[in-house]
Structure 1
């Protein structure tokens, strides 16, 4: 195995693209319908890649994929220069826990994305 790129189903793809752009992600690939609606976007920041897909594209195809926004999933993302990253984004996102040194030796902070997912950013020393 070489990598994992979660495909996260969302209700508002454009709002999700806007949110993750604030975190420094850029679109690397997108799929649009013949009518011009974007229904899928792959976004990357360094070696971290997420895929976002609208729920509408799978309606009736995968009945087990149904939920309210958010879920029991934490996306744990390691970064360099966490203090600078935090300073760049903390005014643009909903921060849940500020920068803190953990008992296991990392500096972390957590935020909620626009889809109610929990993202924890960490720098290991």
Structure 2
């Protein structure tokens, strides 16, 4: 295995792109390539890649994919300069858990994205 790039299902790709741009991600690719009615987007920040896709774009392909609220998924993202990053985004997002040092020595904080998914950022300080 070489990498993991989650394909996360959302209702509004444009809104999701705006949210992830606000925390430092960049759009790498979209379908369609231009316009505003996207059905899929890939966003990156360093070595972290997320793909976002609308439920509607699946049609009847994968009927088992559904979700009522993103709370069942937590994405754990390691990064450097966590305190600086927290300072840049904490007023733009819903902070679920502020900066804290865990019993295993990591500094972490958790936020809620615009689709109710939990993102936990961590640094081994």
TM over 0.5: same fold?
Answer: yes
Q: Which residue of 2 aligns with 1:89?
A: 89
> Could you tell me whether the CA contact under 8 Å between 1:33 and 1:39 is conserved in 2?
no
What runs of 5+ residues in structure 2 fail to find an aligned partner?
none
2:18 paired with 1:18: yes
Query: Aligned partners of 2:104, 2:70: CA distance in 1, in Å?
Result: 27
The count of residues paired between Structure 1 and Structure 2 equals: 125
Consecutive unaligned residues in structure 1, runs of 5 or more? none
2:67 maps to 1:64: no
TM-score under structure 2 length normalisation: 0.94
Shift in alpha-carbon separation, 1:36–1:98, aligned structure 2, 3 A = closer
Measured in 2, the distance between the counterparts of 1:43 and 1:92 equals 18
Q: TM-score, normalised by structure 1?
A: 0.94
| Cα contact 2:14–2:36 (8 A) shared by 1 | no
Distance 1:102 1:71 in 2: 21
Contact 2:26 2:44 in 1 (8 A): yes
